[in-house]
Amino acid sequence: MFCTKMRSKLKRLLQQIDQYVDEHAETALKITTTLKGMLESPVADIVTAIIPGDADELIRKHLIVALELATNALSIANECAAQQTLNDKLQCFVTQLRKYPPEVQDALLQKLASLLTRQLDGSRGRQSLYDLYTQAKYAAGKQQDVAGV
């Protein structure tokens, strides 16, 4: 009974999210998926590597600002605050992320995706809604991966 009520509340909440937020969540999840791949094999220019090649210049500028704000907001980024460029900060972020077990890496990347989504959406909603939405979007993508879709 409780799960049914919770599921219907969650469904109503997710229906309130517009297509614009959905697109931003998709972009943010692409970025964090690429960052996760960099834990295995580093690249020289992270900024260029993680921003989707099909992003237009305005989205690219917003992503750069969002990445700067989001990496500063996460506690592991304290080690990286002194870095001068965004690329150096992201390199440091990936280095710090490697120190954690995979489940913590996933949690931090999920939070990064949520922070990016909120920034790209102009911070119109509460952070908790972006957290919920990006988690649901991530889980849906995982379900499709498992199903082989």
Q: Is-contact 85 93, C-beta < 8 A?
A: no
Surface-to-core class of residue 120, CB atoms within 10 Å of its CB (0-12 exposed, 13-18 middle, 19+ buried): buried
Alpha-carbon radius of gyration of the chain: 16
- Distance from C-alpha of 24 to C-alpha of 138, rounded to nearest angstrom: 13
pTM of the model: 0.70
Predicted local confidence at residue 119, as pLDDT:
92
Cβ neighbors of 87 (< 8 A, separation 6 or more) are 45, 46, 47
**pLDDT per residue as tens, the chain (149 positions):** 566 776 777 666 666 666 667 788 888 888 888 888 888 777 778 888 888 777 778 888 888 888 888 877 776 767 788 888 889 988 998 998 898 899 889 888 999 999 999 998 999 888 998 998 898 888 877 766 656 65
The H or E element that residue 94 is part of is helix 86-97
Query: Which tokens in the block code for residue 11?
Result: 């469904």
